[in-house]
Amino acid sequence: MKILLCCAGGFSTTMLMDSMKRVVKNSKKLDENTFTFKAIPVDLLQSEVEDTDALVIGPQIAHKLDAIKPIIEPYHIPYVIVDKDTYGKMDGATVMKMVFIAQKKAQMNK
């Protein structure tokens, strides 16, 4: 599963990405070899969206959702917007749960 994390500059999102990687690595149920993560600034989304399985949107760019949707909708990419508290805690476990829920919802709507 390719998970793309998107924020204003890509810096703080890299810390969240590292937390998510640790969650996968420490999980007894998840195989870290089946996951790839990439943190990018929102300006690069168009060039990175292909082959993405889920998009994680940082709270600092949640207001750009109207610009993000036309980029991801042709690819049917599920997305989550991380709330400020979860983001501030760099809570990778909660974000991974959000991603899995978004994926399941997307599969049910196909």
Domain extents for the chain? 2-108
Q: What is the CATH number of domain 2-108?
A: 3.40.50.2300
Nearest to 45 by CA among 7, 11, 84, 16: 7
pLDDT of residue 11: 74
Active site residue 7: yes
pLDDT of residue 31: 94
Phi, psi of 97 (to 5 degrees): -60, -40
Report, as ranges of residue numbers, the positions in the chain whose pLDDT lies below 70: 10
- Residue 36: both structure tokens together: 């790839």
Catalytic residue among 3, 4, 7, 95: 7
pLDDT of residue 12: 81
